[in-house]
Structure 1
Amino acid sequence: MIGTLDVVVLDCPDTRALARFYAELLGGDIVAFDDDWAEVVLPFAGHRPLLACQRVDDYRAPEWPGQDVPQQIHLDVKVDDLDAGEQAVVAIGATTTGQGTDTFRVYLDPAGHPFCLVVPQD
Structure 2
Amino acid sequence: MIGSLDVVVLDCPDPDALAAFYTELLGLTVLSAEDDWVEIGGPTDARPLIAFQKVDSYRAPEWPGQVVPQQLHFDVKVDDLDAGEQQVLAIGAVATGSGGETYRVYLDPAGHPFCLINPVD
Class of the TM-score when normalised by the shorter of the 2 chains: over 0.9
TM normalised by structure 1 equals 0.94
**Secondary structure of 2:72 counterpart:** coil
Query: In structure 2, what is the Cα distance between the partners aligned to 1:79 and 1:17?
Result: 23
Cross-structure match for 2:35: 35
Q: Which runs of 4+ in 1 moved over 2 A?
A: none
Cross-structure match for 1:63: 62
Q: Percent identity?
A: 69
Unaligned runs of 5+ in 1: none
User: Are 1:77 and 2:76 counterparts?
Assistant: yes
Cross-structure match for 1:25: 25
User: What displacement does 1:47 show?
Assistant: 2.5
Cross-structure match for 1:11: 11
Number of matched residues?
Answer: 121
**Secondary structure of 1:24 counterpart:** helix
CA contact (8 A) 1:14 1:35 kept: no
Which deviations, in whole Å up to 9, do the C-alpha atoms of 1:67-107 show, x marking residues without a partner?
11010321000001000000000111100000000100000
